[in-house]
A and B are shown apart, each in its own frame.
Chain A
Amino acid sequence: MMRHRSLTVGAAICATMFVLAASSNVWTPYDPLTIDATATFAGPSVQHPFGTDQLGRDVLSNIWQGARTSLVAAALAALLAMLFGASAGIVAATSRRWVDDIIVTVGTVFVAFPALLLGLLVVAARGPSTTSSVLTIAIATGASVVVVTRSDAADIMRANYVTAARYCGASTWSIVKRHVARNLLSSLVVQATGAASIAVVAESTLSYLGLGAVPPTPSWGRMLASTQQYLLVHPLLTLWPALFISVTVLGISLLGDGLRERLDPSLRTQL
């Protein structure tokens, strides 16, 4: 029961956020950037369901478009990390020893290297931007994908059916296609949701620190940072972005847990 629910709830949250992000290209209640000096710090009302911020901008519209910044960054980073991490992992597991050693060593160093420091380095080199944060997040999460995929793929390569396929004359490429890739699929899907939820947190953290999305791009992390000083008088302003970040991350990780249990039959019997 619980399990089905985590998949359903996770999928529902992710779908909602996706719809928000996609529709913000076409329509938001207000232009998120329009400043209205006569209506600053307005509380929730029919015109502005989430109120307005310190510059009189509509908070709902900013949250709406912030979803796009967050999700695009998360999806791109996860996609990059999976593409490059999974292929490097498979290459490592199927290649000669020295190629394997090099890939694993590089991967391990990146896993060990503090992700935010990596982010700081990239920002120092390229300046703050969404591209910088996507790049950082992709490198940091991709490194662990490399290490995990490599070890999973190496297990598969040692399986009897792979040995049998070799005796039948199958090439490495066809073994990768027919056996390795298919058996890795569930692990990769789960890792992708993990990478995506890390990416949402990382993107909003970098934006919060002023190292991510640059103004005027609406971003949940920056909204939170810019409203923190009004916490005493207008706590709702800070609550909205905090709520949306947390719910999104929770949704993605519930989806991941649900998928893991759906895709991996051995987990179904556990407590």
Chain B
Amino acid sequence: MSGVARRLGSALAGVFASTVFVFAVLRVLPGDIATARLGTDATPEALSALREQYGLNRSLFVQYIDWLGDALRGDLGSSLMTGDSVRSEIFSRLDVTVPLVALSSLLAVLVAMRVGQHSAIRRRKISGLLASALAQVGLAVPTFVVGVGLIFVFAVQTRLLPAGGFPTDGWGRFFDATRSMVLPVLTLSLAQSAILVRFARSQSLDFVASDAYRTARAAGRTADQALSTATRLVLSPVLTVTALQLSTLLTGAVVVETVFALPGLGSMTVRDIANRDVTKVQSTLLVLVATVFVIRLVIESVNDRLDPRRSA
């Protein structure tokens, strides 16, 4: 139990440190935020009115405390550019980003488990070597290159799937929405599973070398059956790495949403940064970072259940 408390504590500390960091970096922006919003030919009266409205004329410390306090109560402020509520903007983007990230993580873990186990059993056969070589190549090819490659094959050459975009009605048009999620999910999970395969493979190799495996084989089980008893054992490091790689996954989501022109959280943030929408960016980043820490906490707890030795 103390392990859980310790993790919760370090996650809270991490989120807190990140808020200070995000706020500090964004507010040392060269140039005045109000001028960036209204343009250089704005009248001094308009500028000070805007500063008044967003509380930009107060000290940074007061602004920080105010922002953090509001965020804790669920109020993420409003966009400097459009004045829209940041919270509702974020919520409206979730029905793209959440399925994208969740489905591709799930797919990545499943694929990595299967490929890792396969390449461990057949490590001296062509198919096993091919599997680990493919994983190596998968690591080398950046996400956006994979995405553009998939667009080329499935959207440009064969026209099986859309090259990008998302129906404006969202999941209301379930079939179209699903179709436009296929390539993004594939892209993101490929990058992710290339990382995970290594760990699934090395853990499977350890098991293949163990007495338990030899006994099972001697008793007449096939290699696959024998290895399936070690699913928990192999899943555990894969999940640990998934938790550690969450930030990579998030990075991947930003890239994938841009490649496929999906209206998600990542592409929104890239645009907000370009627009220097400081108030929106700081709240969005806070939500993203907090989510990363929460998911990591959940994965680690699941992991303790999978492998009881870890919590000992």
Report the nearest B residue to A227, measured CB to CB.
B148
Q: Which residues from chain B contact A19 at a C-beta distance below 8 Å?
A: none
Is there a chain A Cβ closer than 8 Å to B247's Cβ?
yes
On whether A125 and B29 interact (CB within 8 A), knowing A109-B17, A253-B139, the answer reads yes
Task: Output the least CB separation between B254 and chain A (Å).
Answer: 6
Q: Could you tell me the distance between the alpha carbons of A253 and B10 in the complex, rounded to whole angstroms? A: 33
Q: Which residues from chain B contact A247 at a C-beta distance below 8 Å?
A: 140
A202-236 residues with Cβ-Cβ distance < 8 A to B are: 204-205, 208-211, 221, 224, 228, 231-232, 235
Q: Could you tell me the distance between the alpha carbons of A206 and B297 in the complex, rounded to whole angstroms? A: 29
B139 and A232 form a contact (CB under 8 A) = no
A124 and B142 form a contact (CB under 8 A) = no
B142 and A245 form a contact (CB under 8 A) = yes
Task: Output the least CB separation between A70 and chain B (Å).
Answer: 11
What DSSP secondary structure best describes chain B's contact surface?
Answer: helix
Report the nearest A residue to B22, measured CB to CB.
A121
A115 and B292 form a contact (CB under 8 A) = no
A29-79 residues with Cβ-Cβ distance < 8 A to B are: none
Interface string of B23-66 (1 = CB under 8 A from A): 00110111000000000000000000000000000000000000
Q: Could you tell me the distance between the alpha carbons of A123 and B22 in the complex, rounded to whole angstroms? A: 12
Q: Which residues from chain B contact A197 at a C-beta distance below 8 Å?
A: 140
- Which stretch in B83-91, B106-114, B213-221, B268-276 binds the other chain? B268-276
Task: Output the least CB separation between A96 and chain B (Å).
Answer: 21
Partner of B255 from A105, A121, A208, A228 at Cβ < 8 Å? A208
A210 and B29 form a contact (CB under 8 A) = no
Q: Number of B residues contacting the other chain (C-beta, 8 Å)?
A: 51
- Which stretch in B68-76, B92-100, B149-157 binds the other chain? B149-157
Task: Output the least CB separation between A251 and chain B (Å).
Answer: 8
What DSSP secondary structure best describes chain A's contact surface?
Answer: helix
Q: Could you tell me the distance between the alpha carbons of A57 and B259 in the complex, rounded to whole angstroms? A: 24
Q: Number of A residues contacting the other chain (C-beta, 8 Å)?
A: 39
Partner of B285 from A117, A231, A235 at Cβ < 8 Å? A117
Partner of A271 from B205, B270, B288 at Cβ < 8 Å? B205
Report the nearest A residue to B258, measured CB to CB.
A209
B270 and A209 form a contact (CB under 8 A) = yes
Is there a chain A Cβ closer than 8 Å to B299's Cβ?
no
A235 and B156 form a contact (CB under 8 A) = yes
Is there a chain B Cβ closer than 8 Å to A246's Cβ?
yes
Q: Could you tell me the distance between the alpha carbons of A205 and B296 in the complex, rounded to whole angstroms? A: 25
Q: Could you tell me the distance between the alpha carbons of A249 and B143 in the complex, rounded to whole angstroms? A: 12
Interface string of A115-142 (1 = CB under 8 A from B): 1110011111110000000000000000
Is there a chain B Cβ closer than 8 Å to A103's Cβ?
no
A204 and B273 form a contact (CB under 8 A) = no
A117 and B140 form a contact (CB under 8 A) = no
On whether A249 and B141 interact (CB within 8 A), knowing A113-B21, A116-B254, A123-B273, the answer reads yes
Q: Which residues from chain B contact A204 at a C-beta distance below 8 Å?
A: 142, 144
A210 and B289 form a contact (CB under 8 A) = no
A253 and B29 form a contact (CB under 8 A) = no
Q: Which residues from chain B contact A120 at a C-beta distance below 8 Å?
A: 269-270, 273, 281, 285
A114 and B152 form a contact (CB under 8 A) = no
Q: Which residues from chain B contact A238 at a C-beta distance below 8 Å?
A: 148, 152
Partner of A125 from B18, B26, B136 at Cβ < 8 Å? B26
On whether A249 and B247 interact (CB within 8 A), knowing A113-B289, A121-B285, the answer reads no
B274 and A210 form a contact (CB under 8 A) = yes
- Among A108, A120, A121, A211, which residue has the most Cβ atoms of chain B within 10 A? A120
Q: Which residues from chain B contact A245 at a C-beta distance below 8 Å?
A: 141-142, 145
B128-167 residues with Cβ-Cβ distance < 8 A to A are: 136-137, 139-145, 148-149, 151-152, 156, 163
Q: Which residues from chain A contact B251 at a C-beta distance below 8 Å?
A: 114-117, 205
Q: Which residues from chain B contact A224 at a C-beta distance below 8 Å?
A: 144-145, 148
Q: Could you tell me the distance between the alpha carbons of A105 and B261 in the complex, rounded to whole angstroms? A: 37
A249 and B142 form a contact (CB under 8 A) = yes
Q: Could you tell me the distance between the alpha carbons of A50 and B9 in the complex, rounded to whole angstroms? A: 56
Q: Which residues from chain A contact B151 at a C-beta distance below 8 Å?
A: 228, 231
On whether A231 and B140 interact (CB within 8 A), knowing A120-B269, A242-B145, the answer reads no
Listed A/B pairs (10) with beta-carbon separation below 8 Å: A114-B248, A115-B247, A116-B254, A124-B276, A125-B25, A209-B270, A242-B145, A242-B148, A249-B140, A249-B142
Besides A115-B248, A117-B250, A246-B137, 15 new A-B residue pairs in contact (Cβ under 8 A), listed by A number: A109-B21, A112-B292, A114-B288, A115-B251, A120-B270, A121-B26, A124-B25, A205-B143, A208-B258, A209-B270, A211-B270, A235-B152, A246-B140, A246-B142, A250-B137
A residues apposed to B, CB below 8 Å = 105, 108-109, 112-117, 120-126, 197, 201, 204-205, 208-211, 221, 224, 228, 231-232, 235, 238, 242, 245-247, 249-250, 253, 271
